[in-house]
Amino acid sequence: MVRMLLGREEMDRNTWMYEIGRATSEFMDSVDEFIIVAETDQLEKGNTAISCPCKKCKNARWYADSTDIKSHLIAHGFMRGYTCWSFHGESLADLNPSISDNDTDNEDDSYNSDNNVNFDYMFDNLDMEDNVADKYHDRLQQLFVDAEKPLYTGCMNFSKLSAVIQLVNLKSNNGWSDTSFTSLLELLNKMLPEGNELPVSTYQAKKLMCPMGLEIQRIHACLNDCMLYRNEDKDLHQCKVCGTSRYKRGKPTDNVDSDVLENGPPAKLLWYLPIIPRLKRLFANEKDAKLLRWHAEDRKNDGKMGHVADSLQCKILIKILKNLGMRYVI
């Protein structure tokens, strides 16, 4: 949902949510605007209640009456770091328009002309914040909620997240198998009071701790490192260089299924970590993105060596990449 501020854009959210007094008219009016956003999102999604982002509820409790939420916010204030109202219909893409197609328009033209280097297209294909925010921001907010949520009602020593982290540490330090750890979680879940928040499987525990995993590609490889089974070679059953079988088998056999995934584990596996999702993650934060663009936007061009991009070798490399039509990030 598009950001709604009803004419109050001159006051930054950090200011009115956390810095000014909650008894001021500015805070009261801004809370009313938040309630409008929350109620609009409730209608669009067809929800029967709205989560409360006050310091006590932290979006973990829901209320059918928005006046309860308003009274909570006035009494306790907003939970820390909730300037993007992700539980109420917003995403980071709505709030961070700073990275756009015009971001590089203010570069030093003299630098570009002197060195024949044009940085205009360096980041235009990364689609930086839009893809990252929608996919991961809600998961990050949920992680904050789990870090504050008691393991069970009345528990003072462990939150849902801290309990899982300590149990997983025990698993790692003592070499427990996933099966034995799942059995332990199931037993502890039954021992704890009814309605506790403890996961009941190793998979759930790992998902709770690592909600924002990055993409990993697993590519089958020849046992002798001759080739990778990808692109036009993805359906081959043996290496086209040395003839070694693609699969890990006790005895060689000619009986193979046409579907390569049905023939058992590969003899060797390559884990490939794509760079583009990692660059998107780096550029998802507005402040970090500005620092990452510093060499192109704010670097001093006084003829002295102050950055790797000032070196002759780097300038030559950039020209070669441009002539080849390749994109680059320095």
Q: What is the pLDDT of residues 262-319, one digit of tens each?
A: 777 888 999 898 888 788 777 777 788 888 888 778 777 777 887 787 888 888 887 8
CA distance linking residue 290 with residue 130, whole number of Å = 16
- At 207 the three-state DSSP class reads helix
- Residue with more model confidence, 37 or 252: 37
The pLDDT score that the predictor gives to residue 313 is 85
User: Taking 60 as the threshold, does the pLDDT of residue 64 lie above it?
Assistant: yes
CA distance linking residue 78 with residue 89, whole number of Å = 17
The pLDDT score that the predictor gives to residue 107 is 39
8 A C-beta contact, residue 40 and residue 1: yes
Confidence of residue 119 (pLDDT cuts 50, 70, 90): very low
CA distance linking residue 280 with residue 157, whole number of Å = 37
Task: Tell which residue, 131, 140, 136, 128, has the closest CA to residue 290.
Answer: 128
User: Taking 90 as the threshold, does the pLDDT of residue 192 lie above it?
Assistant: yes
Highest mean pLDDT among 21-30, 40-49, 132-141: 21-30
The pLDDT score that the predictor gives to residue 123 is 36
Please state, rounded to an integer, the average pLDDT across all residues of the chain. 77
Q: What is the dihedral of CA 283, 289, 291, 297, to 10 degrees?
A: 120
Helix ranges (H only) for the chain are 13-14, 25-45, 66-76, 92-95, 109-115, 128-148, 160-174, 178-191, 202-209, 275-283, 286-292, 294-297, 312-323
Contacts of 325 (CB under 8 A, 6+ apart): none
- Residue with more model confidence, 97 or 224: 224
Half-sphere exposure for 21 (CA within 13 Å, toward CB): 3
Half-sphere exposure for 154 (CA within 13 Å, toward CB): 4
Confidence of residue 12 (pLDDT cuts 50, 70, 90): confident
User: Taking 80 as the threshold, does the pLDDT of residue 225 lie above it?
Assistant: yes
Average pLDDT of the residues in 73-102 = 70
Q: Under the phi-then-psi rule, with left for phi > 0, alpha for psi from -120 to 50, and beta for the rest, what region is 49? A: beta
Q: What percent of the chain has pLDDT over 90?
A: 18
Q: In the numeric block, which tokens belong to residue 323?
A: 């002539």
8 A C-beta contact, residue 108 and residue 301: yes
Q: In the numeric block, which tokens belong to residue 297?
A: 């936007």
Q: What is the dihedral of CA 293, 296, 297, 298, to 10 degrees?
A: 90
Average pLDDT of the residues in 121-139 = 48
8 A C-beta contact, residue 82 and residue 51: no
pLDDT in tens, 173-185: 888 999 999 999 9
Confidence of residue 187 (pLDDT cuts 50, 70, 90): very high
Confidence of residue 190 (pLDDT cuts 50, 70, 90): very high
pLDDT in tens, 149-158: 889 988 888 8
Average pLDDT of the residues in 7-32 = 79
Q: Under the phi-then-psi rule, with left for phi > 0, alpha for psi from -120 to 50, and beta for the rest, what region is 172? A: alpha
Confidence of residue 91 (pLDDT cuts 50, 70, 90): low
CA distance linking residue 289 with residue 122, whole number of Å = 13
Average pLDDT of the residues in 145-166 = 88
In the chain, what are the domain boundaries?
Answer: 13-90, 113-125+276-323, 128-209, 217-272
